[in-house]
Structure 1
């Protein structure tokens, strides 16, 4: 498949129209991953803060 000269890309505007989706509502994969990992880091920081509050030191 990769050695042939067949093009496997398509204009997304046609796909958006077919699905009834506005192109402005679609975010890029890069932006999605950035938001996802930002949320994960926030959760981890919250969990770390909570675990420090429950630690008992003598």
Structure 2
């Protein structure tokens, strides 16, 4: 998968450039709530690894 920056991901999710209307600032998150390590599934080319912490919002893109 190609590297996607924050702005490109947001634009892909909402379908337009929204600029910095939320005043995003780095922040700390809670403890880890979900971890996937090298998960394989039919039709997936490479294993998936992911960690999600409390307070994070996760978007998934499937095509």
- Report the TM-score range of the alignment, normalised by the length of the smaller protein: under 0.3
Q: Which has the higher helix share?
A: 1
Bigger Rg, structure 1 or 2? 1
Q: Which has the higher strand share?
A: 2
State the TM-score, normalized to the length of structure 2: 0.21
State the TM-score, normalized to the length of structure 1: 0.21
